[in-house]
């Protein structure tokens, strides 16, 4: 149990600013009320899985604890020797040299700073104010460290918003509550991001290996990923889930790795028996991925199994129909077929766009989910932007 003296350092004299219409309404709280605010923020952080939303909650907590107009979480990019605004209430994402400004000084020195007359301080860099059309009256900045004591960023509050002209040591004590917690959470976030980035790179490498083995183009999986993400968001899928599908859909044909070369690379028409063997790539892909507990790989197992199912139940491998086909499979089916038809292959030329659109209109409600076809065709401009952005290099159509 905390002693009174210890708790006063963290909790006494808490000033919280409610950001309602006027954004200047001041209300004083007791120790218990301030503790409630802190625990409420921590509770939100504990339950938030989206990285960007998590960091915004932490920035909100810091802003409210000191009654600032805004807070910025600067991340230190050691490789480029830059600070960049990962989260901010007042800034777009910008980059500044790590040696510039008060934030840069704090990042390099490791010492917190309260600056109540920034334009009189030679270390202050007014470039950001000019860029953003903002006026910094005062600021408070604290270095953020990881568990090894290395500085990974700077947490900065700007402009005391209570009508008082200066930040105080009391504000610094309150800001320390937020910055200490942010340091621990941010380290976990960065580690999770590194794990997820590595996972995505492995997924794309595996997917491209499967596509190249079957003589598909390297950008096919990237385009399928982007088309899938676009369709998912247009269909109203939550952002986090749409991102999962984006990273899962490239593995739709991973099962082809297990198909014999004699069939996979056969230049001529496949026999009925060979077609049945080729179709097993859906089950093979599912079997490869189904045991993973990772959200992306679990989604990929569904995509692998169901991306050849048809809305009318005439697809494979299970002849699932309609909404019984998982939305992941229905979306990837549209993305995959469109890209396959629109791209040159060693064995065929790309179809003319009008012919592709005619096929999708004809297969609406047959092969494809009619709602997804409508969304796809009504947003063709966005689809074609993706196609152009990830255009295959040295693309030469067959004779």
In whole angstroms, give the CA distance from residue 107 to residue 358. Answer: 59
Other beta carbons within 10 angstroms of residue 216's beta carbon come to 21
**What's the token pair of residue 272?**
């009925």
Cα 279–chain centre separation: 33
Residue 218 class from Cβ within 10 Å (0-12 exposed, 13-18 middle, 19+ buried)?
middle
Q: Are 254 and 394 in contact (CB under 8 A)?
A: no
In whole angstroms, give the CA distance from residue 391 to residue 7. Answer: 60
Query: What is the residue-wise DSSP string for 282-330?
Result: HHHHHHHHTT--SHHHHHHHHHHHHTT--TTS--SSS---GGGS-HHHH
Q: Are 91 and 103 in contact (CB under 8 A)?
A: no
44 is catalytic: no
User: If residue 242 lies in a helix (H) or strand (E), which one and from where to where?
Assistant: helix 239-248
Per-residue CA distances from 229 to 82, 303, 365, 373 (Å) = 31, 13, 21, 15
| Closest C-alpha among 302, 322, 327 to residue 310 | 322
Of 160, 222, 246, 256, which is the active-site residue? 256
Residues carrying an active site annotation: 256
């Amino acid at each position: 149990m905390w002693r009174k003296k210890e708790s006063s350092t963290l909790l006494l004299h808490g000033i919280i600013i409610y950001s309602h219409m006027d954004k200047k309404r001041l209300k004083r709280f007791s120790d218990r009320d301030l503790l409630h605010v802190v625990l409420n923020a921590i509770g939100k952080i504990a339950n938030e899985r989206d990285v960007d939303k998590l960091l915004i909650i932490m920035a909100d907590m810091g802003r409210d604890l000191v009654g600032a107009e805004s807070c910025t979480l600067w991340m230190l990019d050691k490789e480029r020797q830059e600070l960049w605004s990962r989260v901010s209430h007042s800034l777009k994402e910008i980059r500044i040299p790590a040696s510039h400004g008060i934030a840069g000084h704090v990042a390099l020195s490791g010492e917190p700073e309260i600056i109540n007359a920034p334009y009189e301080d030679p270390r202050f860099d007014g470039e950001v104010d000019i860029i953003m059309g903002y006026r910094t009256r005062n600021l408070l900045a604290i270095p953020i460290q990881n568990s090894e004591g290395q500085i990974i960023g700077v947490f900065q509050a700007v402009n005391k918003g209570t009508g008082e002209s200066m930040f105080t040591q009391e504000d610094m004590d309150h800001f320390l509550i937020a910055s200490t917690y942010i340091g621990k959470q941010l380290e976990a976030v960065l580690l999770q991001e590194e794990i997820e980035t590595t996972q995505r790179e492995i997924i794309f490498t595996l997917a491209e290996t499967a596509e190249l083995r079957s003589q598909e183009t390297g950008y096919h999986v990237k385009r399928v990923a982007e088309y899938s993400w676009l369709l998912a968001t247009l269909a109203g899928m939550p952002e986090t889930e749409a991102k999962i599908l984006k990273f899962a859909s490239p593995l739709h044909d991973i099962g082809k790795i297990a198909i014999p070369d004699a069939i996979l690379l056969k230049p001529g028409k496949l026999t009925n028996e060979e077609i049945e063997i080729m179709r097993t790539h859906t089950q093979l892909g599912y079997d490869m991925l189904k045991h993973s507990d990772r959200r992306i790989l679990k989604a990929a197992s569904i995509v692998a199994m169901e991306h050849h199912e048809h809305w009318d139940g005439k697809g494979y491998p299970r002849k699932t129909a309609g909404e019984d086909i998982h939305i992941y499979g229905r979306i990837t089916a549209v993305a995959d077929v469109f890209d396959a038809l629109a791209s040159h292959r060693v064995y065929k030329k790309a179809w003319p766009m009008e012919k592709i659109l005619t096929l999708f209109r004809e297969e609406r409600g047959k092969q494809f989910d009619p709602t997804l076809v409508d969304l796809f065709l009504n947003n063709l401009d966005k689809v074609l932007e993706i196609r152009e952005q990830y255009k295959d290099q040295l693309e030469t159509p067959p004779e």
